[in-house]
A and B are shown apart, each in its own frame.
Chain A
C-alpha cells in the first residue's frame, strides 16, 4: 500500500491537465475519473465488447466473465457475503426506486409506516412518496436539531411507531454531516424495521462493511466514487432481495416466459432486466480496484486537513452563515453570504473559475424548514490541493466584496 501523496494522486486525473485554470469543488455532484477507469472502459470496447449472458460464442463469454468479475470485485469491496447480493442499476436513484416499489407490493401493507429524515436527498423522498399515498402507507420524517443534525431523540421516539422501513443517508449531500449509521441501523433493527442506507455520498468517504453494519440495503452511484455515470449498486440481504418485486421486466430477468405469465430468474438477474451497463460495471470495478491502492485513513486525513484549512480561512471572511458543522464532516461545506442569494454567490465564483453549486441540492424540504433559498456548497475531494483551497477562499472573499460593496 502506497503512502498517500496528493500530487501523485491528482496526477491520475487527466481532467486537471485539460482544465488547469479551474478549481473543481463540486465533488458531491460528481467526481472525476482516474485514467485507470478510462482505460478499463476503452479497453473493454476495443477488445472484449459483446453482450453478456446471451451468446454461446466465446466473445460473449469473455464479456460476461469481465462483467461478473466486476460484480465480484464490488462484493468484496463492501464485504458482501454473496455476489448475488450486488444488483447493478443506473445509480442511487434507480436503486431507491427499486426498493420503494419492490417493498410496497410485498413487504409493506396498507396502514404501515416508513421513516425517513428531514435531511434526505429527493432520491430518498420521492420514490417513497410515489407509492405511499396510493398504497395507504404513511411516511414519517425525523426532524433536525438546531445544528442541522438528525434529532436522535426524535428518531427514537418515531421508531416507537414501529415503521416497517427506515431509510436515511449515510452522509448528507447538503451539509456533509456523517450520520451515526451503525447506531441508527441497530436501533431501527431492534424496532423491527428494514434498514435502507443511501450511500451516495458515504461510499467514497469510508470503507463499508455491510455485514458488520448488518444493514438490509445499501445503495450508491458509481459516478460519485471515481466511476462512470450510468452505473450504480443496490446491495441487499438475499432474503429481502428475493422479496422485492422487480420494477422492470424484460430480458435476462426471467427464466420462462409465456403469454399468460413469466417465471423470474434467480438473483441477481431477476432485478437486472435488459442489457446492463457492461462497460459501466467494468469501469466502476476499475475505480474500486484503483482506489484500494491508497490507504483510506490517509485519504480521510488529507481531506480533513483541506477542510480545516477551508474552515480556518472562512473565519477571515465577514458576513457568512455557515450551515455545515466541521465535526463529523465528510468534506462538504454549505454556507450563505448573509442576505444574498446562493445563485449570485455561485455565479461570482464561477466567474473566477471556482466550480461550486448554489441552490437547494435536491433537498428542498430541508431548505424550506430553514426558510432559506438554498446554500452554496463547496465539496472537497482528495485530488484537491491546498493551493485550490486558498484560491477558493480568495474567490469567496472577492464575491463577498462585490456583493456587499
Chain B
C-alpha cells in the first residue's frame, strides 16, 4: 500500500459519504440511528495500514489515536488527505470533515471554518460534544499543512 493508493481509494469513499451518508445523517430521527450512520461512515474510509502509521503522523490531543497523511498537488493547487482513527465514532466525524476539505486549494483551506461548515449541515452538536475527541486537534493538523 502506498500513499498514492490510499489517496485514490479515499476519493470515491468521500464522494459516496457526501452524497449518501450525509443526507441520511441529517434525516436520522433518533441518536441511535445517527450513531449507526456515523460508524458506517468511518468504516467506508480506507484504513491506513499499521506499517504506515509512523509516530510522526499521530495527531496529539485525541483520547483515541488518530493519524493524518497529506499530499499537496502543486500543479492544481489542491490539498489531499488520508486519515484514520482507532475509535469509530471519531473516525466517522473525521470522515465528514475530510469530505469538506479534501481537494481544497491552499487559500480555501486556510479560510475553512469547521464550525460554520458543520452548522450548515446541522452537525454542530457533534462538534461541541466531540471537542475532546480530537476533532479540533485533527482540524488544526490539517490546517498546518497549508503554506
Contact = CB atoms under 8 A, between A and B. Distances in A.
Contact of A341 (B31, B32, B35, B87): B87
A341 B86 CA distance: 7
A373 B32 contact: no
Given A350-B129, A373-B86, A343 B35 contact: no
Contacts of A347: 87, 89, 129-130, 133
Interface string A304-348: 000000000000000000000000000000000000110110011
Contacts of B88: 340-341, 344, 403
A402 B64 contact: no
Contacts, number: 39
A361 to B, nearest CB: 11
A343 B90 contact: yes
A402 B129 CA distance: 19
A343 to B, nearest CB: 4
A343 B133 contact: yes
Nearest to B86: A341
Interface in B65-109: 65, 86-90
Contacts of A351: 31, 35
A348 B36 contact: no
B36 to A, nearest CB: 6
B36 A373 contact: no
B47 interface: no
A373 B65 contact: yes
Contacts of A340: 88
Contacts of A280: none
Interface residues of A, number: 15
B29 to A, nearest CB: 14
A131 to B, nearest CB: 26
A1 interface: no
A352 to B, nearest CB: 8
Contacts of B133: 343, 347
Interface in B29-73: 31-32, 35-36, 39, 63-65
A139 B39 CA distance: 43
Nearest to B35: A402
Contacts of B31: 351
A359 B64 CA distance: 8
Nearest to B31: A351
A157 to B, nearest CB: 34
A27 B135 CA distance: 27
Contact of B32 (A344, A358, A359, A398): A398
B39 A403 contact: yes
Contacts of A341: 64, 86-88
A405 B31 CA distance: 15
Interface of B: 31-32, 35-36, 39, 63-65, 86-90, 129-130, 133
15 contacts: A341-B64, A343-B63, A343-B64, A343-B87, A343-B90, A344-B87, A347-B87, A347-B130, A348-B35, A351-B31, A351-B35, A358-B63, A402-B32, A403-B39, A405-B36
Closest 6 CB pairs of A and B: A341-B87, A343-B87, A343-B64, A343-B63, A344-B89, A344-B87
Given A344-B88, A350-B129, 15 more contacts: A341-B64, A343-B63, A343-B89, A344-B87, A344-B89, A347-B89, A347-B129, A347-B130, A359-B63, A373-B65, A373-B86, A398-B32, A402-B39, A403-B39, A405-B36
